Amino acid sequence: MTPIPVMPAAVPPKTAASPLTDDARLLAAAKKLEATFLSEMLKSAGLDATRGAFGGGEGEEGFASFLRDAQAENMVAAGGIGLAESLFNAMKAHAHA
């Protein structure tokens, strides 16, 4: 029986990670703040409330915040409510002052 030759794994070429600019870091922080705000608003709206007798129980209650955070991040990625833009502009003005 002839052994099957082993091929080396394909390794992607190393690329230098470009450092984030100040504006990119400010925008990322603004989007994170908007996502946190939206997550709290979804919580206040009762999004994580148990849905009846056949709810997920303690497990659902424990992981509801993760779902809510993911939904808030998706809302921000889809354009959000404009809070990130306002926060970005305010932080940029403050940083360059």
13-23 b/e (C-beta count within 10 Å ≥ 16 → b): eeeeeeeeeee
Q: Is 30 within 8 Å of 88 (Cβ atoms)?
A: yes
pLDDT of residue 55: 65
Domain boundaries, the chain: 22-45+60-95
Q: Which of 44, 43, 21, 28 is nearest to 76 (CA)?
A: 28
Contact 90, 26 (CB under 8 A): no
Give the count of beta carbons closer than 10 Å to the beta carbon of residue 10: 5
Taking only the tens place, the pLDDT of each residue in 71-89 is 999 999 999 999 999 999 9
pTM assigned to the model: 0.70
Q: Is the pLDDT of residue 57 over 60?
A: yes
CB 55 within 8 A of CB 75: no
